[in-house]
Structure 1
Amino acid sequence: MSWQIITRSLPIFLKAFELTLWLSALGNICSIIVGILCSLVQYFKVPVLHQIVTAYVELARNTPLLIQLFFLYYAFPVIGLKMSAQTCGIIGLVFLGGAYMAEGFTGGFAGVSPSQIDDGKALGMNNLQLARYVVFPQGFALSMPALTANVIFLIKETSIFSVIAIPELTNTALDLIGLYYRSNEYLLVLVIAYAIILIPVILLLNYLERKVRYGTFGD
């Protein structure tokens, strides 16, 4: 184990670290938005859209991100839709993540008492008002465990981006290992880098989960 080699590699890993953070943040934020919209469509069984969303969720959850990325990066240019590697990575992550988020939120929204929906309708609320004032606030709290698991899952899935040459952490580590044959040093930096990202995220989400749960159901 050479600490000098690790020190020399830190500037390269820092750039990869920043890119991984950016991809993870953007992918998770967009996935949450897609997941919420899809789950509300499923919850209220919006005609036509409900069937489309169900098909999307099943397709996304039952195909690996690796295959999705290959399709976006190599198949789309054949039909004239050429995108950068990072764009393909974000689209693939959101495509996969949105489906998992949708399932998580759907489970949470299903936990809202049907009697509250009936009461809201009796007061003259439409579906948009029911979603905003009744379903979403309670369903979001119930969805926090699934949301936490999915956020962590999507951060780790960014390591798959190495297959389309996005210079994130895993790709950077593999490139350096291929160049200098120092697996121990570069893999150690890789593990530490992911730990630096994931541990604070896990602690923050667990804290938010407790706060939301206590705020909704009492301590």
Structure 2
Amino acid sequence: MDWNVISKSIPLYWDAMLLTLKIGWIGVALATLIGLVSAVVIHFRIPVLSVVFKIYIEIFRNTPLLIQLFFLYFALPKIGVKISAEVCGWLGLGLLGGSYMSEAFRSGIEAIDSVQRESALSLGMTDFQVMIHVILPQALSYSTPAFVANIIFLLKETSVFSAISLMDLMFRAKDLIGLYYNTAEYLALLVVFYLIILLPVSILGTVLERRLRYASFGT
């Protein structure tokens, strides 16, 4: 293991990590928004929209992110829609993640006893108020384990962004290995930097899940 090679490469990996984090967290935010909206729409069986979202979920959950990125980056320009590689990255991640987040949130919503909704309506609350003040807070608590798992999954999926020439961590590692052949050093750095990204999320998710569980059950 050549430590001199590692020390010289750290700034390059740091820049690549910042780009990975930027695209990854924008994608997670978009996925969360899409997932929450689609879960509510499907739960209330809103005509037309619920069918559209169900089709969207099935398509994006059953196709690889790499194919979705290729479609956004290479196919859309053929019909006159040109977007940058970075936008393709977080848009593809958001659409893929939205399909998974939707199922996580929907399971949380459906875990709430219907008696709570009926009781809230009997008190004069509207359906919107019931959803915001009664159902969603509890549903988000139930959905936390799946939500955190999906975040980790999406951040790991950023490793395919190199296929559309984004200078993320994987691209940087492959580029340096191709140039200098210090495979062990560059792969070790790749592992370390992915751990820097993912370990805090995993730890915070565990703490949050535990606190929410204690709040729910008083243990």
The Cα shift of 1:121 comes to 2.2
Letter paired with 2:208: L
TM (norm. structure 1) is 0.97
TM (norm. structure 2) is 0.97
The residue aligned with 2:76 is: 76
- Alignment RMSD: 0.9
Range with greater deviation from structure 2 (86-95 or 206-215) = 206-215
The residue aligned with 1:22 is: 22
The residue aligned with 1:193 is: 193
Letter paired with 1:138: Q
The residue aligned with 2:157 is: 157
Structure 1: gaps (5+ residues): none
Q: Percent identity?
A: 46
Other structure's SS at 2:124 match: coil
The Cα shift of 1:218 comes to 1.6
Letter paired with 1:6: I
Other structure's SS at 1:82 match: coil
Alignment partners' CA distance in 2, 1:184 and 1:72? 33
Aligned residue pair count: 219
Other structure's SS at 1:125 match: coil
The residue aligned with 2:89 is: 89
The Cα shift of 1:146 comes to 0.4
The residue aligned with 1:63 is: 63
Q: Is the 8 A contact 1:30 1:98 kept in 2?
A: yes
Alignment partners' CA distance in 1, 2:72 and 2:119? 46
The Cα shift of 1:31 comes to 0.9
The Cα shift of 1:126 comes to 2.4
Q: Is the 8 A contact 1:44 1:127 kept in 2?
A: no
Alignment of 1:47-196 (within 5 A): 47-196=47-196
Letter paired with 1:99: S
Q: Is the 8 A contact 1:28 1:94 kept in 2?
A: yes
Letter paired with 1:162: S
Letter paired with 1:160: V
Q: Is the 8 A contact 1:35 1:103 kept in 2?
A: yes
Determine whether 1:211 maps to 2:211.
yes
Letter paired with 1:19: L
Structure 2: gaps (5+ residues): none
Letter paired with 1:27: G
Alignment partners' CA distance in 2, 1:123 and 1:151? 37
Other structure's SS at 1:174 match: helix
Alignment partners' CA distance in 2, 1:50 and 1:214? 34
